[in-house]
A and B are shown apart, each in its own frame.
Chain A
Amino acid sequence: MTKSIHNNLDRHKIAEIQPLMQIHQLSLFYNQKPAFKDVTLSIPQNSITAIVGASGCGKSSFLICLNRLSDLIPGCTVSGHIQLGTLNILSPKANTTALRRRIGTIFQKPNPFPMSIKKNITFPLKEHGVKDSQQRHNIVEQVLKDVGLWSEVKDRLQDNALTLSGGQKQRLCIARTLALQPEILLMDEPCSALDPISSGIVEDLILRLRQKYNYTIIIVTHNLAQAKRIADYTALFWVDKGCGRLIEFAPAEQFFNAPNNELTKAYVNGIKG
């Protein structure tokens, strides 16, 4: 209930909201074959943007451009322009380590490292120069509380993270990303590998985080109901002639109730997809 009020508040403010990330004519190719082409949109600050669309339309590929994870995939090339504040993300000179600290990623399959629960969080922190172990411990406690895992694991911080349940693993992965204090969270179907209860917990968590820390969140989801529940903005990707396209990007209310595009209409009414 509070959620929808919150959403509506935001929607009234759209006009004043600064775009945080501007994406212009973005295309991605796997070995010269385009996965998606010419995507242009602006991600509004402190909002949740949901990306929906049928399988294979390039949603995951879109996300991996935003933090240059695409660099790691052999044969993958990206063209276009992404601007984050003063930073030109696709510039070869951009510092990817710092960039990925600013833009955290949560993957579909929870993938904690094969280390202790605590080390999963402290290892990246150490990498980013948090030298004081007491400070690191405080951060561990803080982020585990943020994701609601603290009471469940506080007595077993030294246990292997792989012994956690699927939902707990995913929350640990979120915690380990939060520990780096990113500005933007990219989430690629963060709930789809989880059972309905864990999925609900993670979904609530996303909303709580946004409210508490004003994160900007971009979330890919196959679950239209979920997009409806949490998104402020929604984008629809669709495959056209073997290549993904951005069909519509609009405030969620408009997207679900009065879409401009016929395809969107069919999709949200469950006729397509």
Chain B
Amino acid sequence: MNLSGLKMIRQNQYGLDKVISLFFWLVPLIVTSLFIWILGDIIRGGIGQLNWAFLTTAPLDTGRQGGIAPILVSTLLILGVCLAVSLPIGIGTAILLAEFTPNHNWFGRLVRRSLDVLAGVPSIVFGLFGNAFFAKTLGLGFSILSGGLTLACMVLPILIRATETGLSAVPQEYRLSSASLGISRTSTLWHLLLPAATPGLLVGLVLGIGRAIAETAALIFTSGYVDRMPTSLLDSGRSLSIHIFDLSMNVTGGDANAYGSALVLILILLLINAIASYLSGKYSKTLKV
């Protein structure tokens, strides 16, 4: 091949490069603008509602008037129950899978496969299961406890997978050199592996919370509809997402407050996200010092 032919190939490659890089710029741009559009819409609709009274008073007239105080409290309680149950079980299972179960072991494969299936199950199925098991069989009724436990089942696969990935990403050399210094497996896990896996765990936590807090279908059948202030975990409580669903679908004239509630929901999500990335940054720093 002569020189000019070579040159042409080069130029073609430059052209192709440009098209491809344009494409790789375009995709995130579209995604970002979609997000901004939705966010803008919600802010436009909800900002007028958002004030201190909205956050601290009870809903009136099935939610058309008044605020969302009991709904906020119920949401946070459901989330609290969910995390209190799923975090220890999730981290424990992840440790078992990543550190104490060989990769090709039938038990590990079975658990991993089940988790993957579980992660893909539609939330309405979790709702029906929670209703049958927690509400009826265990007799917890329509309650914050039932709802929280159902959500825990939903976020467990996400938490376990994220923590397990975090642990597997820790270089094998750390385990070998730790063992070569006569450090026990428990100490290695506690002082070396878990701190190194924490950023991964936090990512899983944010994803899990995101899924839990946005959940409607699974909660309708378990934590219920009641918009009163809950007095115990066995009370029924309405979550923010159900409130939004109810206001926009069943209550004519509830749109303004639906927007307001959606804005609060998004702000909570952004807040949790910010806390997690702050912690993750801080944690990787403290580990290093």
Contacts and interface: CB of A to CB of B under 8 A. Distances in A.
B23 interface: no
Interface in A154-180: 158-160, 162, 173, 176-177, 180
Nearest to B195: A114
A74 interface: yes
A115 B187 contact: no
B180 interface: yes
Interface residues of B, number: 22
A128 B178 CA distance: 12
B181 A124 contact: yes
B179 interface: yes
B249 interface: no
A160 B182 contact: no
Interface in B153-192: 171, 173-184, 187, 191-192
Contact of B287 (A115, A123, A158): A115
A74 B176 CA distance: 13
Nearest to B172: A72
A158 B287 CA distance: 12
A216 interface: no
A128 B288 contact: no
Nearest to B104: A74
Contacts of A176: 181
A65 to B, nearest CB: 13
Nearest to A107: B177
B182 A114 contact: no
Contacts of A111: 171, 173-174, 177
A96 B187 CA distance: 15
Interface in A9-31: none
Given A114-B196, A114-B287, A115-B288, A105 B180 contact: yes
Interface of B: 102-103, 171, 173-184, 187, 191-192, 196, 287-289
Given A74-B102, A124-B183, 11 more contacts: A74-B103, A100-B179, A100-B182, A105-B177, A107-B177, A111-B171, A113-B177, A113-B178, A113-B192, A116-B289, A124-B181
Interface of A: 67, 69, 72, 74, 96-101, 104-105, 107, 109, 111, 113-116, 123-124, 127-128, 158-160, 162, 173, 176-177, 180
